[in-house]
Amino acid sequence: MRVGYNPNKDKVQEDNVFFHQVIIPVYIPNQEGYFKDSFKILQYCLESLFKTCHNKTYFTIVNNGSNNEVVEYLNNLYHDKKIHELIHTSNIGKINAVLKGITGQKFKLITIADADALFLNGWQNATYEVFKAFAKAGAVCPTPSPKSFSNKTANVIFENLFSNLLKFTPVKNPKALQYFANSIGNPKFYKSPHLEKYLTLSDGNLNAVIGAGHFVATYRSDVFSNLGVLYSDYSLGGNSEDEILDKTVVRNGFWRLSTEDNFVYHMGNTEEEWMSQKLEKTIISSDDIVEEIQFDKQKEKKIISWIKNDLFYRFIFHKSIKKKFLIYKGLTKEEAKHY
């Protein structure tokens, strides 16, 4: 039997004081084999996040079926108010865990990151600068990758094809690119031309690298407003990230870009000395007032999206056309051959 009147009934939710959410799914089932160092890697990840984020950042951690030690660690962080939202589930897969973090909240920006990302000072501001410079930026990665220039980027190339602001420019931090290649266990992931030049777009003052990676990226939250997908069949990989994170951006008429410099390192699953060294160099961000980004609404007709992202994609990245495009935008014939 209900007695009385619930004081929260029909009460409008108070405005959110946070405008930037960071979602990190965590899956560490044990500390053996592949996962031997994963708990320590997670600690590096979260400590770097806490130190480098401004006070308008909302932390959501989704425990995706981790072991008891990890659960206890995360519970303590929550009780100590270092994280704002902690969701415990069984192992439902990375994207399904991310979807749980996205729903039930309202933020202007959503960063989705793997639990092996090491954040550096300035990563938020660098990301915001790209969003401010390019009104059509829908996803911004703080770790540039030259090889991402052809992944769900046909729309930004289509719209800037004949502009001299779209061109290959010198890589700002080639050492960081090599760090990434080493972290995925493939030191030769980048060829020599990749370490020297990447495709960038300029607004006249700021360069952004074309394309965005997966292990960490910040999205305009409205790209997920009409997602139409509530579940992924994959625990990890498959087409889940492509469909839900990548295509969602371009279907809404937005661009996928990256910062010119590197502001987040990928650690992988093995602890190395450089990780603690990088973490020690980070400083606690100040509590200065952070200006919230104001976005204009963007909408694109399906036929226009199809022309840019499907028809034009097949044209510009056709083997014979692609090489001509690379040369037209600043690579030598030899560089284009190996890019």
Q: pLDDT at position 284, please?
A: 82
- What pLDDT score does 310 carry? 95
Whose structure tokens read 């007709």?
A: 301
Most confident of 97-106, 170-179, 231-240: 170-179
For the segment 304-337, what is each residue's pLDDT rounded down to a tens digit? Answer: 999 999 999 999 999 989 999 999 999 999 999 9
Q: Which pLDDT belongs to residue 25?
A: 96
Residue 181: name the closest of 144, 211, 208, 216 by CA. 144
The pLDDT value recorded for residue 75 is 98
Type of residue numbered 214: H
pLDDT at 290 over 80: no
Q: For 210-263, write each residue's pLDDT tens digit.
A: 999 989 999 999 998 877 666 565 544 445 677 888 889 999 999 999 999 999
pLDDT at 285 over 50: yes
Mean pLDDT of 109-137: 97
Residue 235 φ then ψ, to 5°: -70, -40
Please tell me the distance from the alpha carbon of residue 116 to that of residue 216, in angstroms, as a whole number: 10
Extract the runs of DSSP E, i.e. beta strands, from 114-232: 117-119, 137-141, 166-170, 197-202, 207-210, 216-220
pLDDT of amino acid 173: 97
DSSP for 81-103, please give it.
Answer: TSSSEEEEESS--HHHHHHHHHT
Question: How many CB atoms are located within 10 Å of the residue 231 CB?
Answer: 11
The whole model's pTM is what? 0.92
pLDDT score, position 289: 64
Q: Which two tokens stand for residue 266?
A: 């990928």
pLDDT at 9: 53
What is the share, in percent, of the chain residues with pLDDT greater than 90? 77
Separation CA 80–CA 70 (nearest Å): 15
Q: Work out the end-to-end distance of the chain between its first and last CA atoms, rounded to an integer number of angstroms.
A: 70
Instruction: Provide the pLDDT confidence category of residue 105 given band limits of 50, 70 and 90.
Output: confident
Examine the pLDDT at 96 and tell me if it is beyond 50.
Answer: yes
pLDDT at 237: 47
**Confidence at residue 225, expressed as pLDDT on a 0 to 100 scale:** 82
pLDDT at 14 over 90: no
Instruction: Give the Cα separation of 262 and 208 in Å (integer).
Output: 12
